[in-house]
Amino acid sequence: MRTGLLLGIFLLCAMHAALAADPAVRKGEALLAKVEAQTAGIKDFVADLKARVNLPLLPGVGLSGHVYFKQPRKVRVQLDNLPRFVQGYKQQFSGLAPTRRNKTDYTARHIGQESVLGRPAEVVAVTAKDPKSNLRLITMWIDPKDFTVPRAALKYADQTVITTQTKYMRIEGFLLPASQDMQFNLPHIAGTATAAYSNYKINQGLADAVFDKPQKGR
């Protein structure tokens, strides 16, 4: 049993070493680090959120609420009366790039270059190491000049795919989401949504308790 345990540890270390030596992984991790560094000076923020959801039989549902963020990975979206079809994906209305994942659970790999809205972008695939993970794959198109994420796609275990296209504005020297278009492709329904962000309040000293409050509609 001890021999098997040691062998398992050896194989795990060998796998991590191989990934670290992979130039595509190194570049992917470096790009994600630069995305996060772009807003490293933001300890927390709160912003107003106005959203509109378009689903079959529910065209143009208007919603309003707030987005709360605190380093390193605390995000809360307060958005009441969100249609139940998309309640489980409320966090996507935050507008934030989906980079804040535990590095021990996901592997980032640079997979190429494409154009987004007429500008070049570096494409990074962030893959879950656990095959039972709910969120299996995040693909991000990263602007190599300002390290924003104008486009992202998230694929879940049930084959749900959510794509986002985000525009940014400069607030107190930081590039933060101004608006976001979303496409939801769930197993039995598809729809779209838009979100607009305003009235950012940065580094106000948000308490951790803000993120512990129950959220209506998940």
Please provide the CATH number assigned to the domain covering 2-211: 2.50.20.10
Q: What is the pTM of this model?
A: 0.84
DSSP string over 149-192: -SEEEEEETTS-EEEEEEEEEEETTEEEEEEEEEEEE-SS-EEE
pLDDT for the residue 72: 84
Across 136-159, average pLDDT: 95
Minimum mean pLDDT among 9-13, 122-126, 151-155, 185-189: which range?
Answer: 9-13
In angstroms, rounded to a whole number, what is the distance separating the alpha carbons of residues 36 and 143? 13
The DSSP output letter for 31 is H
Higher-scoring residue by pLDDT: 12, 167: 167
Q: At 146, is the secondary structure helix, strand, or coil?
A: coil
pLDDT for the residue 214: 60
Q: Which residues contact 70 (CB under 8 A, 6 or more apart)?
A: 43, 44, 206, 208, 210, 211
In angstroms, rounded to a whole number, what is the distance separating the alpha carbons of residues 186 and 159? 7
Q: Work out whether strand 174-185 and strand 74-79 pair parallel, antiparallel, or are unpaired.
A: unpaired
- Say whether pLDDT at 216 is over 50: no
Q: Taking all residues of the chain, what is their mean pLDDT, rounded to a whole number?
A: 86
Q: Which residues contact 75 (CB under 8 A, 6 or more apart)?
A: 67, 68, 69, 91, 94, 96, 100, 211
pLDDT for the residue 189: 86
